[in-house]
Amino acid sequence: MAKITKEQLKKRFDIDSAYVRVYIKRGHLVQDENGLFDEEHPVNAKFISKREEGLPKVATDKVLKDKFKLEEEKLAADVDRIKSVTELNNLKLAKLHGEVVPYDLVIPIFIMFTKSIMTAFMNEDEDRLLEISHKAGLTKDEVAKLRKRSSDIVNAAVESGVKEGKKQARKIVQEFSETRGRGESK
């Protein structure tokens, strides 16, 4: 008559102490007065044979842990998917209400606006330069130098304006994203 300890049983069938207690409580395992499991006892023999056949009547601790982990990962993936769909739907609604305009669509408008102002300014500057140079009797070289200097100043101002505009646009997009991300209203 072979008797095994609780530790031997746990190791042999890869089960946790808590499950051993549950199996005892439910009558799937029987201990003797010394706390040992007799392998020839009919209840224990049935439990052992089912385990050794690879057809466990009750899932092992490892199987349950793996199943729980898989379910947990599946739920986390579902939550992530739902969050993504919700965020996308909120953006679509905001777009329909005119609250959101794509950043990439706004930048060309600013560039066109800046070019329009620059062109108008350069044309007016050219007219003034020609008028003043004619009254002052400047040579073509002197007018060309003044024209280049004026053009350099305007181009530097435009570059600076574009750089600052992009910086401010990114800042607005970031602030808007952070505010909307926390669920605050605009």
Q: What is the pLDDT of residue 158?
A: 79
Looking at the chain, the whole-number percentage of residues with pLDDT higher than 70 is: 85
**Rounded average pLDDT over 7-32:** 90
List Cβ<8 Å contacts ≥24 apart for 181-185. none
Residues 31-71 have pLDDT tens digits of: 999 999 999 999 989 998 888 876 444 556 666 777 888 88
Output the CA–CA distances (angstroms, integers) from residue 102 to 26, 27, 149, in the order listed: 63, 66, 37
1 pLDDT exceeds 90? no
Distance of alpha carbon 149 from alpha carbon 72, whole angstroms:
68
Q: What is the pLDDT of residue 43?
A: 93
Query: What is the residue whose two structure tokens read 């280049």?
Result: 148
186 pLDDT exceeds 60? no
Does the model's pTM come out above 0.85? no
Residues 90-140 have pLDDT tens digits of: 878 877 776 767 767 777 887 788 788 888 888 888 888 888 888 999 898
Distance of alpha carbon 24 from alpha carbon 20, whole angstroms:
6
CA dihedral 89, 91, 92, 97 (to 10 degrees): 130
